[in-house]
Chains A and B, each alone.
Chain A
Amino acid sequence: MTDTALSTHTDESVADFAVRARTWLAENMPPIDPDNPPFMVRAEQQSWDRAKALQRTLHAGGFAGICFPREYGGLGLDMAYQKAFNAECRAYEMPLILNTPSFTICAATILDVGSEEQKRTRISAAIRGDEILCQLLSEPSGGSDLAGVITRADRVGDKWIINGAKTWSTSAFAADYGLMLARTDWNVPKHEGLTMFLVPLNAPGITMRRITEVNGNEEFCEEFFDGLELGDDAVVGAVNDGWTVASRQLHHERRAVGGGSEFASGTGAENASEMPPDHVGLAEATGQGGDARIQDLAGRALARRIVKEQLIEHVSRCIANGSLPPNAGTLIRLFHAETTELEIDTALAIAGTAAVVDDDNALLDIGIRYLSRQTGSLGGGSSEMARNVIGERVLGFPREPAADRGVPFNQVRRNKT
């Protein structure tokens, strides 16, 4: 498990490490204004080329993979060193888009449950800036019911033959390998017949295309598998134990989204669309800074944003001291989604017609952003699933009846075609 990353292999204190990092960063990394950072557009290949180049620089300087074990290309240091580095690198351009999912979810999971060979090759390549990892989990047949995937991996001789489709794969177009969940046994209940594979994305038998979102974003991909051949070395963990691997991914994803992963390097916002709208600036730009009704609207959104930060700290502290269960991380996920909806709605209300008809204020982006308002309430599990988790795993209420519980998967009813 990740405990392997907690051993410290250095005599250098955190403070000395920070001083050395400060000097090195000043000499080697491009400086930025941390209050007005340049954003990398995740949908563009050049962003990923740039991120890889920055990662190579970090690796050459000996500041890459700080919390990954030395034998897999990291520094083998504990989180205090990464935190110190994060504080030092705020004013420098960092390959932030490599953090999630590549490092914080995929490499972290391979470190937990991958084979020795997978750890030595894939983790070290990611740390060197040579490779990027992604997740191939959701399917066109359904989003929330992850264990119900129907992409199949059939045993033919000493090979696995993959047929099916995946969707909503974050930045898969830029990735080299993907963690792909497939069904290997249809005669057992759904969680028991899954296997996780590490798939080279340039292999024959894979067709990938971009998904175009309503806001024009093309970061997510869908993949079609048509007789893709994989060997046993592609299996992550054990055959038919893929749910264990997927659960580790979900665990690491929750930690990463909450800002609690030791495998993330640098803490800035990755892109402009993650930045909350500037409600005060918007009110003033539209000449409404003195309007009591607008002040009320904007103040409410500003308050909610601060409460969100306070909730993240509170929940993290409560999980650490045991007064809330680990699943309470879902509270952060749901509050984040609700806050984003409020922030976007409030910006739209303040902007008025300027959000729907382009004028001198150039606020049409607020309208465009409104169109994709629900993405935060859908991605990584819908808000409704989050409420189920809170109801059942945090509050301990009775679980939803599930028609597929304990039923062999080939007898479970599926979508009407």
Chain B
Amino acid sequence: MTVAANPEQMLFASTAQAFLEKEASLHKVREIHSTGGSFDARWWQRAAELGWAGLLVPEELGGGSVSGDSIADLAMLAEQAGRTVAPGPLHPVSVVLAGLVEAAQHHEGLIESLVSGETVASWAVYEPGAPFSPLTPSLTATATDGGYRLDGVKDRVESGDAAGVLLVTAALDGVPRQFVVPTDTAGVGIATQRSLDMVRHYARVTFDGVEVGADAVVGTAEQTAHIIERQRQVALVLQCAETVGILDAVLAMTNQWLLDRHSFGRPLASYQALKHRFADMKLWFEAARATTAGAAEAVGARSPQAAKLVSVAKAYVGERAPVMLQDCVQLHGGIGVTWEHDLHLYLRRAAQNRAMFGSPEDHHRVIFDLSRKVPA
């Protein structure tokens, strides 16, 4: 994270920052939105050339991290991306790679193609009408002569319209498994879902007798729950890190506004009522940074505490961030609720992140369960 970065990490971060400022500015986000797009495939390939998609991938599979702590590097990148609510499939591609590298056999080609940015992949884990519960898919996989047949529906698949490959959770003989499915396979139907975010697209994906080969499965039945847990942890850390980047940018913007804006002959920042509100936000921001760093560290070290600490981070960041964003809108006054002002670009992504991969309330219950001395 931003704290205690080594020189390689700092160079990586500054390169990423320069690239994002030039190629993924707020202006660019608005431009992409106005064309109804999500991101430019060539742009993502250039980002991949900077090493963005290879961080979680071991060197022998074509990847490599800057510091040796790939989760920390990736979280730093997600935080940078949050500062301009950047477009692009960093999140879905990273989550899929987090799973694939745990059981890479037969998937080396896909990993290489994801690292190069040539292919985009996404985790098809949510199902219509159901909350995030990755270990209990309704979509079924049935063993066939040459492999498996998938039947069912997924939704809220990020970048589903741009993905060449999906990593699909499915129940095989009642046990959760994951399958790699190219989106051009016969029987796969993709329909775009509108979202609150300016450029982040989601899709509902139907699987109607979709046939895949025996090699499409990722990991064994025994491995799968651990692999899915790893993906969940990476998904949550990156989401929290992105939100921390959002908060950093929005607080900087609001801080400047309070100093520049004068009423009754005084800067807004001189009013104690507003100063105290901003002091609270500074406190919550540092706490959000701290808990996200704590989660990233635990996931990076594969600590037994990681499952709990990602839920703690998501619960805290997910609860606080939208409240802070709306507070910043309030401190800006009327301009804050206009289309013209950039605040809503951040508010949209923060609200999106609060809801996806478990709400704060869901994670509170997870923390409660993990804190029992005797499991219920």
Q: Which residues of A contact B (CB under 8 A)?
A: 280-281, 283-284, 289-290, 292, 295-300, 302-304, 306-308, 310-311, 313-315, 317-318, 321, 323-324, 328, 331, 334-335, 338, 384, 386-388, 390-392, 394-395, 397-398, 400
Contact = CB atoms under 8 A, between A and B. Distances in A.
Contacts of A298: 364, 368
B40 interface: no
B278 interface: yes
Given A392-B275, A395-B255, A299 B283 contact: no
12 contacts: A289-B372, A302-B368, A306-B291, A311-B287, A311-B290, A314-B286, A314-B293, A315-B286, A315-B290, A317-B4, A391-B278, A397-B259
Interface string B82-123: 000000000000000000000000000000000000000000
Contact of A295 (B259, B312, B360, B364): B364
The 9 residue pairs across chains A and B that have the minimum distance between CB atoms:
A299-B364, A314-B290, A391-B275, A390-B279, A299-B368, A398-B270, A387-B279, A299-B367, A295-B368
Contacts of A334: 279, 283
A335 B316 CA distance: 13
A299 B3 contact: no
A397 B270 contact: yes
> By CB atoms of chain A within 10 A, which of B294, B308, B366, B368 has the most?
B368
B235 interface: no
Given A280-B371, A303-B364, A398 B3 contact: no
Nearest to B369: A295
A203 B258 CA distance: 54
Contact of B315 (A300, A318, A321): A300
| Secondary structure dominating the interface of A | helix
Given A303-B364, A315-B286, A335-B287, 19 more contacts: A280-B368, A280-B371, A280-B373, A281-B373, A297-B364, A300-B315, A302-B364, A302-B371, A307-B316, A310-B290, A313-B294, A323-B2, A334-B283, A338-B283, A387-B279, A390-B279, A390-B283, A391-B276, A397-B275
A304 B360 CA distance: 12
Nearest to B289: A314
A303 B376 contact: no
Contact of B367 (A302, A314, A331, A397): A302
Contacts of A308: 287
A33 to B, nearest CB: 16
> By CB atoms of chain B within 10 A, which of A283, A303, A307, A335 has the most?
A303
B275 A299 contact: no
Nearest to B251: A395
Contacts of B367: 299, 302-303
Nearest to B1: A314
A303 B363 contact: yes
B272 interface: yes
Contact of B3 (A314, A331, A394): A314
B365 interface: yes
Contacts of A400: 272
Contacts of B259: 397
Given A303-B315, A303-B364, A384-B276, A310 B255 contact: no
B321 interface: no
Contacts of B373: 280-281
B311 interface: yes
Nearest to B2: A323
Nearest to A283: B368
Contacts of B368: 280, 283, 295-296, 298-299, 302
